[in-house]
Amino acid sequence: MLNNIRNFCIIAHIDHGKSTLADRFLEFTATVEKRKMKEQLLDQMDLERERGITIKLQPVRMDYQGYILNLIDTPGHVDFTYEVSRSLAAVEGALLLVDATQGIQAQTLANYHLAKDQNLKIIPVINKIDLPSARINETRQELMDLLNCSAEEIILVSGKTGLGIEKLLQTIIEKVPTPKLHNDRLQALIFDSVYNDYKGVVAYMRLISGTVKAGDKIHLIGTSKTSEVLEVGYFKPIFFKSSHLQAGEIGYIVTGFKDLSSCKVGDTVIQLENFSQAKDLHLPGYKEIKPMVFAGFFCKEGVSPEDLREGLQKIKLTDASLFFEPENSPALGPGFRCGFLGLLHLEIIQERLKREYKLDLIVTTPSVAYKIIEKKQGTEEIEKIIHSPQELPNVHEVLEIQEPWVKLDIITPKEYLGNLMSLLTEKRGIYLNTDYFSHDSNRIILHYEMPLSSILTDFYDKLKSSSSGYASLNYELISYRKCVVERLDILVAEEKVDSLAVIVYKDEAYRVGRKIVESLKDVLPRTMFEIKIQAVLGYQEQSQNKGGKVIASERIAPMRKDVTGYLYGGDVTRKRKLLEKQKKGKKKMKTLGRGRVDIPTEAYLAVLKR
């Protein structure tokens, strides 16, 4: 049976045609009926279809010429690299897919190195060969240089028309290694999981050895939880119930757990009877992922913090890279400090909470994690990590502040080199070196080091603008380095808005403050009273007085109601009296707190685009 199993995944840069190629596989192997076929079939979320990107890995089992082909479709965006790494650990082979019109991109290289580190059999594939703009020869040469392979080893396909699919399937059968059997005791790696309202926690597993069936007593080594298997099966791509799963197969088990924390990605499943041998059977699992971007999620009126907690727990079950912990804000109330792998990851999680769990939230301005070294009594120093501007202590108590830096790889045509180097220098980037594709002097790889905070704002948009859309980007965290930053608070109607506070470089404080107040002026709605918008450095909020240095301010004029419209004559003092009464009313409105300004979502986006 093992000799007939092939486990593989598709890895590529974003928008190189992974999901379309997977659709052709499903059609060609008759895994899905023609009447049920649709584009991006493996992309289960509406969000994936709308944006045209894969967010979640998705396994599917195909039967072809007596072989079982287990495919895992993976995301291509840098923010979802953890999904890719988990998929690679569950398979023996990988299709390295490259768009013939774009050639090798930054994420192509990153995913290739991930697959190489796992010692997988890599099959190079060039997609979209049917397009008039396809650069087949140039792309083939790029892959030959990267993989040190021959031209005959590279498969040419069209995910749209199905050209070359049969040859690719035959190559998978011939070249992807069969799973290796280590012993006859159950060992299974959990590479993903979901929560089903009727079934509870469903674990996606790759069986390394042994068999599992409904009724078996299992033990999860990492969480030390025990349960009885309620159902087993595989993916077609929906759940397809089976009598059992055996070594080498990829499938699912209904664990019977209702507690979401009982089943964790990377855990090892064994038979309960082998509990005493757990130490020997434990699989390496996955490297602990560290979030890079942090933001606060707080409830709007009508949303319960418990509902938010439950929503986050369910999403974390399907997205192991999500981090969250409780946080309480004096202004926004109870909420959660959440960690993400990037801004797109943050945006997707926020949208999923809104769509899947009907949660309307306030999301604070994203920031990176800073390392603070504080001085205490004597020579004692304390090092801690802060995740939000509100946690930044008084500058007089701090010896040093360090920020995360990333190594940046950018692939671009050389005619945009000047534009990109100007952009990277402006964003505090440090040039390392430039690599040239040996066969094609027109495309280069720029290597830079840069503060992670510089990528948080509008960097990606500017990168695409500076290169007419041709540049691609990949980055990885390398270290923490010293920086000179301070907290910039935003006051709206003389009230501090915690969720709009940002940490800025000292020499950029005025520019950032000016940009924020001008952006807020455009998005905040007018009210019956004047609204002052101020950017303040060193803001101190005490019981008696408030202080700080205002470095930028704007004013939104009040809406005016003509209270004198009905007057038809008489002395001018009648008109003045009514206007004075209106003025006092507006002042009273502010004093009694009825003049609070509701900050719309657009305001947070305006701060982000500083």
Q: Which helix (H) or strand (E) holds 401?
A: strand 398-413
Most confident of 182-196, 210-224, 284-298: 210-224
| pLDDT of res. 544 | 47
Confidence of residue 156 (pLDDT cuts 50, 70, 90): very high
Phi, psi of 567 (to 5 degrees): -70, 135
| pLDDT of res. 594 | 45
d(C-alpha 42, C-alpha 27), whole Å: 12
223 φψ region: left (φ > 0), alpha (ψ -120 to 50), beta (else): alpha
Domain ranges, residue 125: 2-175
Same domain for 354 and 468? no
pTM reported for the whole predicted model = 0.80
CATH code: domain of residue 444: 3.30.70.240
d(C-alpha 250, C-alpha 585), whole Å: 70
Angle at 391 between CA 387 and CA 394, to 5 degrees: 135
Please count the helices (runs of H) and the strands (runs of E) in the chain.
Answer: 15, 31
Residue 596 lies in a domain: yes
Question: Contact, 92 vs 2, CB < 8 A?
Answer: no
| pLDDT of res. 361 | 84
Same domain for 564 and 491? yes
| pLDDT of res. 296 | 86
Question: Tens digits of per-residue pLDDT, 397-413?
Answer: 677 899 999 999 998 98
Question: Contact, 8 vs 172, CB < 8 A?
Answer: yes
Of 57-61, 287-291, 540-544, 590-594, give the lowest mean pLDDT range. 590-594
Identify the residue with better confidence: 532 or 586: 532
Same domain for 329 and 277? no
| pLDDT of res. 571 | 72
Q: Which helix (H) or strand (E) holds 22?
A: helix 18-28
Q: What is the tally of structural domains in the chain?
A: 5
| pLDDT of res. 543 | 42
Residue 442 lies in a domain: yes
Of 97-111, 384-398, 418-432, 485-499, give the lowest mean pLDDT range. 384-398
Of 1-15, 114-128, 436-450, give the lowest mean pLDDT range. 436-450
Confidence of residue 557 (pLDDT cuts 50, 70, 90): confident
Strand-strand pairing, 268-271 and 187-196? antiparallel
Same domain for 163 and 66? yes
Same domain for 159 and 238? no
d(C-alpha 212, C-alpha 218), whole Å: 9
| Boundary-marking domain end, from 175, 210, 231 | 175
**Secondary structure E strands in 187-290:** 187-196, 200-209, 211-213, 217-220, 225-228, 231-235, 239-242, 244-246, 250-254, 268-271
For residue 237, say if its preceding peptide bond is cis, omega within 30 degrees of 0.
Answer: yes
Per DSSP, the three-state class of 34 is helix
pLDDT at 285 over 80: no
Residue 121's contacts (CB-CB under 8 Å, 6 or more residues apart) are 92, 93, 94, 175, 176, 177
- Please give the single-letter amino acid code of residue 224: S
Same domain for 17 and 141? yes
Phi, psi of 331 (to 5 degrees): -90, -35
Question: Tens digits of per-residue pLDDT, 5-58?
Answer: 999 999 998 888 888 899 889 888 988 877 677 776 776 677 777 777 777 888
| pLDDT of res. 572 | 67
Same domain for 23 and 134? yes
| pLDDT of res. 123 | 94
Same domain for 428 and 525? no
Q: Where would I find the H helices in 319-360? A: 343-357
| Boundary-marking domain end, from 330, 363, 396 | 363
Confidence of residue 605 (pLDDT cuts 50, 70, 90): low
Question: Tens digits of per-residue pLDDT, 246-280?
Answer: 999 999 999 888 877 788 888 899 998 888 887 88
What is the average pLDDT score of the chain? 84
Pick from 532, 528, 530: nearest CA to 497: 532
d(C-alpha 149, C-alpha 143), whole Å: 8
CATH code: domain of residue 333: 3.30.70.870
